[in-house]
């Protein structure tokens, strides 16, 4: 299947989906110039759009994924919720969902979404003709030395519901993937300000916002089970 990615960041979500065998990235959309350079390096030749609001004629894909902005949803933010200035870009994502009509929609955000907008997300998906299942996974569950809990939502056309009930049941206890080995090595202690480290501030911000690919890979496998 072809994958279209919105709010791509440095591509952690779609990398994990590709590893899970969900499909191949067909296009991406990302506003940050540094992140676009990273995407272009790892997916050479794949079109990258710069502004989700200007994406009025998105190419057709079978899978649409995106970690829409969390700034207004996060407990560390200003509490604007899903209709806030940044997180409200979710509605642009839904506009594209309605145009593209994919077989799978895979969304990611912070766990605070459960209290600050999950009902809106599910309502919008239902209004567009999609059922959804959801749950929280963490980086620690795939062997990382930090939690980084995130909520993932897997949606599919409501006339094609198959597979196991994921969102309606507790998610099984997370176990590290065999290929992850032990705990990941931490970044070398070069400090927050370091001469000679190119683009360090951009790299830290991009990594901080990124989806852990090993977690996205698990989500991809769950999504494939749901639609089979």
Which of the residues 29, 35, 65, 70 is marked catalytic? 70
**Parallel, antiparallel, or unpaired: how do β-strands 63-66 and 2-6 relate?**
parallel
Q: Angle at Cα 60 formed by Cα 55 and Cα 65, nearest 5°?
A: 70
Tokens of 91: 């509605």
Tokens of 213: 């690919």
Active site annotation includes 70: yes
Q: Are 88 and 7 in contact (CB under 8 A)?
A: no
Rounded CA separation 146/135 (Å): 18
Instruction: Indicate which residues carry an active-site annotation.
Output: 70
């Amino acid at each position: 299947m072809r994958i279209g990615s919105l709010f791509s960041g440095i591509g952690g979500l779609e990398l994990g989906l590709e590893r899970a065998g969900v499909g191949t990235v067909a296009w991406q959309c990302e506003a940050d110039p540094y992140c676009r350079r990273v995407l272009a390096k790892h997916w050479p030749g794949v079109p990258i759009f710069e502004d989700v609001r200007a994406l009025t004629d998105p190419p057709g894909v079978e899978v649409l994924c995106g970690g829409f902005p969390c700034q207004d949803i996060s407990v560390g933010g200003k509490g604007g919720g899903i209709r806030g200035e940044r997180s409200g870009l979710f509605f642009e994502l839904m506009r594209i969902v309605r145009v593209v009509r994919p077989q799978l929609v895979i969304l990611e955000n912070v766990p605070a979404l459960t209290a600050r907008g999950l009902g809106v997300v599910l309502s919008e998906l239902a209004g567009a003709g999609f059922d959804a299942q959801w749950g929280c996974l963490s980086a620690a569950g795939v062997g990382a030395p930090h939690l980084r809990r995130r909520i993932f939502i897997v949606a599919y056309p409501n006339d094609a519901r198959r597979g196991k009930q994921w969102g309606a049941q507790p998610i099984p206890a997370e176990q590290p993937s065999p290929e992850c080995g032990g705990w990941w090595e931490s970044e070398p202690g070069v400090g927050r300000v370091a001469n000679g480290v190119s683009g360090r501030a951009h790299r830290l911000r991009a990594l901080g916002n990124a989806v852990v690919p090993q977690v996205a890979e698990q989500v991809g496998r769950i999504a494939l089970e749901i639609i089979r």
